[in-house]
Amino acid sequence: MKHYSQIFLNGAAKPAAITALLGTAITTYINGVKGLIAGAIASTLVVAFFLVHILLAKATATMDPRATYAIVMASYFLKVLVMVVFLVVIGNFDLDRRSFAAVALAVTLGWLGGEIRAYLKLGGGYGSSR
């Protein structure tokens, strides 16, 4: 049987990719090259952050829950730190911030929707005994 992290990755990758491509295409149409760059960067950043989460889930599956908690909390802290550094660095670049925000939000919702769908397919829906 596949590990649940692989099931979530398979369930989330397709909707996130479709959302990323569609969102980037729309922002490119509206804002030109600035929208293209913003959409591509936002998509890459969101997918990278979620992939780190999936890889950590797989790597810590057999570890003590306290160790898993410590690793996950450290990863959240590092993600926030990376995001702060990224936003400071990208502040000097000429890209469309609204396009960046819209695509980042859309890809996040696409990824999470795919994960939720994958979870429900596992039979772990609301009110289940799992």
Give the 3-state secondary structure of residue 4: helix
Tens digit of pLDDT for each residue in 21-54? 999 999 999 999 999 999 999 999 999 999 998 8
pLDDT of residue 104 exceeding 70, the answer is: yes
Do residues 106 and 44 make contact, with C-beta atoms less than 8 angstroms apart?
Answer: no
Residue-level pLDDT at 54: 87
Q: How confident is the model at residue 125 (pLDDT cuts 50, 70, 90)?
A: low
Q: What is the pTM of this model?
A: 0.83
Tens digit of pLDDT for each residue in 63-82? 998 998 999 899 999 999 99
Do residues 117 and 18 make contact, with C-beta atoms less than 8 angstroms apart?
Answer: no
